[in-house]
Chains A and B, each alone.
Chain A
Amino acid sequence: MPQTEAADLVGRVQDKDMEAFRELHTRFAENICGAINAVVRDPMLAEELCQDVFVTVWEKAGQYNASKGRVFTWLLNIARNRAIDHLRSRNYKRQKQNLHTENFVDTENEAVELPEESHPLAEKLGLYLQGLTEKCRQIIQLIYFRGYSQKAIAEELDIPLGTVKTRNRDCLGRLRKNMETANGPG
């Protein structure tokens, strides 16, 4: 969807235009709920948090402008914060119960390795990520769904800071090719 059109929708949501809001939801909800599920790994919970995100969008549409980046980027940012807030509070509860908390990235990789084969879209995820190195999967996960800075990624994955940006580009390029193959051209 062209950015100008999406930005227009957000502008109308700011004026409490319910139809524009419905349109925005139709266009982005699946992406946003998916991005949250990529973090929390619980589709029911992801839907609930996703609803929170759109309530925030309804209330704070006035805060959006070009300095926040693309509309999708703005939505992704709100979603990320919501998902990570949730994880933090959950981890906090876990720690209070003296249970072991695993490293995020480790749980992440397990989940990426084990898509639900039964579902056609989970199958798709497997096709998309096919052939991507472990590092690539991690970089994409950390940058887009976790909001890690380049510096944090370099430290987490033990790679030189200067290479994070171009590596990410290469990894996304590979992902793009996989998607084209999986979905057919166009």
Chain B
Amino acid sequence: MDLDKYIASGILELYVAGQLSERENREIAALAEAHPRVREEIEAIEATVRGLSSAYAAGRKPDFAPLQSRLAKPSRVRPLWPAYSGWAAAVVVGAASVYFYVQNRDLQSQLQRQELMRGALEEQIANTEDSLKEANRLLEALGERSIQVVPLQGQTVAPEAYARAYWNREDTRLYIDARGLPEPPPGMVYQVWSLTLDPLTPVSLGLLEDFAADADKIFALQNPNASEAFGITLEPAGGSATPTLEQLYTLGTVPS
């Protein structure tokens, strides 16, 4: 090791300042033992800093007596301790027992609440998983090449209403996207009709049951007919044999 270079680096000054890590401190202490030059340099640095510190003391010589009497004080109080410590300990233990009992009770009820909440969350997760599967299945179905999209426009009784039919002729599946329909009044239900136009022949395809409760408002039906148009009417609960044309909400023709 190049001691000159090491000393000139200024690291020993930092050592005296207390700016180094514990590991570095140990290394330098060992180095100082091995090399008198390093030790002498450290001592010279320390002497310089101590000289400067003393100069700041402005000549006041600190007295040991007040320090000594300060240290002696606590020992005078000490004899009282054994007399009270037993009681103090009993009070502390008693208080701690009550505290922990209350804590434990609180934790128990907290745990129960957490258990309940966990059950609810598990159910929610299961439900979400189900509806996700359903949505994916639907998305897949609607994306099939053979599916035909039929827009159903609002009619006189509900000009703002609209719906969409997705019809797969090959496997006869029909999906009705009913998001554009208003919620049916109590005791009423939407009924979907397949129509052939010449002559006008309606065939019921089914009801949009539980409309309000259905989150995505997409309903799966079967349509084996050679439909030329689709219509949706509002009917009394349970549906009707023939459509109530005054309550025709939406209608759309199947593009040929």
Residue ranges of A at the interface with B (Cβ–Cβ < 8 Å): 2-3, 18, 22, 25-26, 29-35, 37-38, 43, 46-47, 50-51, 54-55, 58, 66-70, 72-74, 76-77, 116, 119-122, 124-125, 128, 140, 143-145, 147, 149-150, 165-169, 172, 175-176, 179, 183
Query: Which residue of B8, B14, B42, B64 is within 8 Å of A70 (Cβ)?
Result: B42
Minimum Cβ distance to chain A for residue B151 (Å): 70
B64: A residues at CB distance < 8 A: 22, 25-26, 29
Which residue in chain B gives the minimum CB-CB distance to A140? B52
Q: Which residues in chain B, 35-85, are within 8 Å of chain A measured between CB atoms?
A: 39, 42-46, 48-62, 64, 66-68, 70-71
A55: B residues at CB distance < 8 A: 67, 70-71
B60 and A47 contact, CB distance less than 8 A: yes
Docked CA distance A12–B77 (Å): 25
B49 and A33 contact, CB distance less than 8 A: no
A43 and B22 contact, CB distance less than 8 A: no
What is the interface size of chain B, counting residues whose CB is below 8 A from a CB of the partner?
A: 45
Q: Which residues in chain B, 145-175, are within 8 Å of chain A measured between CB atoms?
A: none
B29: A residues at CB distance < 8 A: 3, 66, 69
B54: A residues at CB distance < 8 A: 30-31, 34, 121
B25 and A67 contact, CB distance less than 8 A: yes
Query: Which residue of B9, B13, B25, B56 is within 8 Å of A125 (Cβ)?
Result: B56
B66: A residues at CB distance < 8 A: 51
Minimum Cβ distance to chain B for residue A65 (Å): 9
Query: Which residue of A3, A35, A68, A74 is within 8 Å of B56 (Cβ)?
Result: A35
B50: A residues at CB distance < 8 A: 31, 72
Minimum Cβ distance to chain B for residue A80 (Å): 8
B18 and A147 contact, CB distance less than 8 A: yes
B19 interfacial by beta-carbon distance below 8 Å: yes
Docked CA distance A59–B25 (Å): 23
A30 and B62 contact, CB distance less than 8 A: yes
Query: Known contacts being A25-B62, A74-B18, A121-B59, is A175 close to B67, with CB within 8 Å?
Result: no
A168: B residues at CB distance < 8 A: 10, 13-14
Query: Known contacts being A43-B60, A50-B62, is A169 close to B8, with CB within 8 Å?
Result: yes
- Interface-centre pick from B16, B20, B70 (highest chain A CB count, 10 A): B16
Query: Known contacts being A34-B53, A121-B57, is A68 close to B13, with CB within 8 Å?
Result: no
Docked CA distance A69–B19 (Å): 9
B9: A residues at CB distance < 8 A: 165-166, 169
B11 interfacial by beta-carbon distance below 8 Å: yes
B10 and A166 contact, CB distance less than 8 A: yes
Task: Show 13 A/B contacts (Cβ-Cβ < 8 Å), sorted by A.
Answer: A3-B32, A33-B62, A37-B58, A43-B60, A66-B25, A69-B15, A69-B25, A70-B46, A121-B54, A124-B55, A144-B49, A167-B10, A169-B13
B133: A residues at CB distance < 8 A: none
Docked CA distance A169–B49 (Å): 12
B10: A residues at CB distance < 8 A: 165-169
B11 and A165 contact, CB distance less than 8 A: yes
Which residue in chain B gives the minimum CB-CB distance to A54? B67
Docked CA distance A50–B62 (Å): 9
The 4 closest A-B pairs by CB, nearest first: A34-B57, A169-B10, A165-B10, A67-B22
Docked CA distance A122–B56 (Å): 7
B118 interfacial by beta-carbon distance below 8 Å: no
Which residue in chain A gives the minimum CB-CB distance to B12? A169
Docked CA distance A69–B42 (Å): 11
Minimum Cβ distance to chain B for residue A159 (Å): 14
A50: B residues at CB distance < 8 A: 62
B49: A residues at CB distance < 8 A: 72, 76, 144, 172
A119: B residues at CB distance < 8 A: 58-59
A120 and B46 contact, CB distance less than 8 A: no
Which residue in chain A gives the minimum CB-CB distance to B66? A51
B32: A residues at CB distance < 8 A: 3
